[in-house]
Structure 1
Amino acid sequence: MAAADMGRSRIVIAGGGLAGLSLSLALKRALADGVDVIMCDPALSRDPHGDRRSYAIAAAARRMFQALGVWDAVSEKAQPILDMVITDSSLQDPIRPTYLTFEGAVDGEAFAHMVTAGDLTALLLEACREAGVTLKPEGVKGFTSHAAHTDVELTGGETLSATLLVAADGARSRLREQAGIGWIYWPYNQSGIVATISHERDHEGRAVEHFLPAGPFAILPLKDETRPDGSVQHRSSIVWSERSENVPVLLESHPEDLLAELEKRFGLQLGRIAFETKPQAFPLAFGVARSFVGERLVLLGDAAHLIHPIAGQGLNLGLHDVAALAEIITDAMRLGQDPGGADVLMQYERARRADITAMGIVTDGLNRLFSNDLLPVRLIRDLGLGLVDRMPGLKRFFIREAAGLRREDVPRLLKGEAL
């Protein structure tokens, strides 16, 4: 059955992560009954609250969630980052001098908020249900593209005829591979260890990034949690970049030994600490698709790009994809154009290529610059950090860049405007 015979356009989104959910909601909010949005992911059958990873939501992405009508609920679970401190030292150094500080406010709002993936996923899922997104707890097995539609085969055996297939199925995207889209990739000799840490003292909304020879170590503030007995538990998320060969030994060590290694990096400024969640490790790598579009196919989020977490921009880069693609599809459909047509999809390619390439270069360069202990390099980078700290205009530029608010030509959702 051709797309033209379906009565209205149907968009299938393969992957129920935060980018896929956000796009589903944005399209239904903008086009309502004018489009069928079907999301497919086996994970939709699981409780999303089990995902205890944490993400930084930059100010521009926060504005998008506000425009989509979910931020008020998200904000109850989110912790604003009120300031940020950057240090550079060796692990053995008794003192970690602060080289750069940022105030967390930009244009009267926090430049980022921390929220757990489970909380955000659950709120987006509920909003998608209320908006009329069809949620199928099964995967996409493959697809066959035709001139006017694409046949999407699900793992349960059903075949859906769609105007457009969105591959939001992660960095190892099978749909990208099936489409024959090349993948530029190189691994870092690093893994990211993530966990939630409880601590005695209030973090006061402060984020800390220690640049250590093995890689950056970030402490990111989370919202306090009230326990059943009425006590308040202070919490932070860590992103601990470590040489990959050291990670198995660390994670398999006795819990007290692992906590001792954490204390060397975390410090004692927040009092006694403990693991609230079991540490998990993820290999770190760079990847970018040679094209973000195929025949009636578009790549979204990690399926299109993968960057180092040193700047905390991985999810936000994917949410920028969402804002751009939702605007392009919405505007095309309101003009009576085919949302899966090559001319429409190439608008997305042009809109995202430069931004993604620039962010990949920046994060790759920062990681290579700071993940070493060569004395001449340390002296040069510390001098650079110190100079930036003494230049308010340059600091404002960097903080607006991190918040996603520097440019005026961003998609409307990132300005907080409805589509």
Structure 2
Amino acid sequence: MADRTENHSDIVIAGGAYVGLSLAVAIKSATPQLGVTVIDAGKKGAWKNDPRASAIAAAAIRMLNKLDCWQGVLPDSEPIREMIITDSRKSDPVRPVFLTFTGDVRPGEPFAYMVENRHLNARLHTRAAELGVTVLEETRVEDFSEQAGYMRITLNNGDIYNTSLLVGADGVRSQTRDIAGIKTMYWPYNQMGIVCTVHHERPHNGQAIEHFLPAGPFAILPLKGNRSLLVWNEDEGETARLMAADDIVFEAEIEQRFGLHLGALRLAGPRGAYPFGLRLARDFVRPRFALAGDAAHGIHPISGQGLNLGFRDAAALAQVVVEAARLGLDIGALNVLEHYQRWRRFETVRMGVTTDILNRMFSNDIPLLRTVRDIGLGLVDRMPRLKDYFIQEAAGLSKQPPRLLLGEAI
């Protein structure tokens, strides 16, 4: 049997997607002396062909801009200039608008941009390489155990990494979370989310639309050019039927929900389907171990906040680690990591509960409840201060945000 390779890295991050890479870049930018290694279980270069897109909130954009990861992406992104919310059925000839939001948190700064995953991933990988972050692709954490003063990690290729801090940013089905023995609270919704991109004849002008239909929200999110990303709820049986349908039938189903306000529609890429549920980790930290992103919290996408919660985790954890390192403290000590847990836990639980309530309230066709929610939406539309509050929340500008989310250096 070949000898195992022993390696040292001050920080090892399991997960090479947005959250893991942005965390690595944030820490390495502020403390170049720390060694940072990212373990990415995905296929080599798979992110280059990722057809998906994501809504990036203003606070996360401020962080990415400070980390020199945004300007290269900006030409391929699309600002959300306006958000429109309706509540209707597929068969309704008219879909009345109950609530509208203009898209700026302050003049010239949209509350969110739509970005195709491959563009932002490319810039994050490039920036990580520029800073000297080690990224190991097609590799995963097999096991780990706390030793006296460090964490000992075994990779699937047999290599060993000794580190002061291991971060689990490996998604909602996190293997590192399971190895650490951290339990989760989980509520399945028995709903699936169908995701695809469409091309339409007329420009969207940066307008996002959320149609609340009996099966759940149907979101139309603007992409660069005459394209939009669609994300919508269906039950498991209807999802199976739609995913098995040919393109002509599928496009007809889209048209029923989308409408014809942007002209003729056609698919502009593959379609995917993903289960929806609420999953919250009971703890975010253990000695020399921390969870971030979907590994810590998986929520319903009704508010578009899932990924942005992960960016906020990255900003908070980076600040805690960097400040501890500057003070000469042990960055993996539990009393250091508990600062991160206290900072992030309340907001993630609050957002999980909020999205759960919104999903249950809007994924039904109960007449009385429809009336109540429509009156509520109408009242919000007539209260500018409350609308401004919701815009700030959607932008990720909550109270006492980490400095990176304000566009400030750690």
TM-score range, shorter chain: over 0.9
Shift of 1:147: 2.8
Match of 2:125 in 1: 125
In 2: Cα distance, 1:274 partner to 1:345 partner: 48
Secondary structure of 1:321 counterpart: helix
Cα displacement string for residues 101-158 of structure 1 (whole angstroms, at most 9, x for unaligned residues): 0000111210000001111111100110011000111111111111300111111110
Q: Which residue identity is paired with 1:113?
A: Y
Q: 1:413 aligns with which of 400, 404, 408?
A: 404
Match of 1:360 in 2: 352
Answer whether contact 2:11 2:36 (CA < 8 A) is retained: yes
In 2: Cα distance, 1:207 partner to 1:321 partner: 26
Match of 2:172 in 1: 171
In 2: Cα distance, 1:406 partner to 1:353 partner: 14
Question: Does 2:116 align with 1:116?
Answer: yes
In 2: Cα distance, 1:319 partner to 1:105 partner: 20
Shift of 1:386: 0.4
Count of residues in Structure 1 that have an aligned counterpart in Structure 2: 403
- TM-aligned CA distance change 1:9 to 1:278, over 3 Å: closer
Secondary structure of 2:158 counterpart: coil
Match of 1:17 in 2: 17
In 1: Cα distance, 2:76 partner to 2:282 partner: 37
In 2: Cα distance, 1:210 partner to 1:176 partner: 35
Match of 2:185 in 1: 184
Gaps of 5+ in 1: 1-5, 225-233
Between 1:301-310 and 1:117-126, the stretch displaced more is 117-126
Q: Which residue identity is paired with 2:342?
A: R
Q: Which residue identity is paired with 1:12?
A: V
In 2: Cα distance, 1:105 partner to 1:28 partner: 31
- TM-aligned CA distance change 1:382 to 1:195, over 3 Å: same
Secondary structure of 1:399 counterpart: helix
- TM-aligned CA distance change 1:281 to 1:242, over 3 Å: same
Q: 2:307 aligns with which of 308, 312, 315?
A: 315
Answer whether contact 1:397 1:406 (CA < 8 A) is retained: no
Equivalent runs, 1:149-298 vs 2, <5 Å: 149-224=150-225, 234-298=226-290
Answer whether contact 1:44 1:136 (CA < 8 A) is retained: no
Match of 1:342 in 2: 334
Q: Which residue identity is paired with 2:151?
A: T
In 1: Cα distance, 2:52 partner to 2:170 partner: 18
Question: Does 2:383 align with 1:382?
Answer: no
Q: Which residue identity is paired with 2:38?
A: M
Cα displacement string for residues 384-413 of structure 1 (whole angstroms, at most 9, x for unaligned residues): 000111111111111111111242x11000
In 1: Cα distance, 2:44 partner to 2:213 partner: 40
In 1: Cα distance, 2:105 partner to 2:174 partner: 36
In 2: Cα distance, 1:106 partner to 1:350 partner: 27
Match of 1:3 in 2: none
Identity %: 50
In 2: Cα distance, 1:200 partner to 1:91 partner: 21
Task: Provide TM-score, normalisation by structure 2.
Answer: 0.96
Answer whether contact 2:114 2:222 (CA < 8 A) is retained: yes
Cα displacement string for residues 347-398 of structure 1 (whole angstroms, at most 9, x for unaligned residues): 1110111100110011000000000000000000000000111111111111
Shift of 1:15: 0.7
Answer whether contact 2:51 2:270 (CA < 8 A) is retained: no
Cα displacement string for residues 31-89 of structure 1 (whole angstroms, at most 9, x for unaligned residues): 01x20000011326124221111111100001000110111112111100000100000
Shift of 1:278: 1.4
In 1: Cα distance, 2:278 partner to 2:125 partner: 29
Answer whether contact 1:19 1:322 (CA < 8 A) is retained: yes
Question: Does 2:363 align with 1:401?
Answer: no
Q: 1:326 aligns with which of 313, 318, 339?
A: 318
In 1: Cα distance, 2:188 partner to 2:204 partner: 33
Answer whether contact 1:191 1:243 (CA < 8 A) is retained: yes
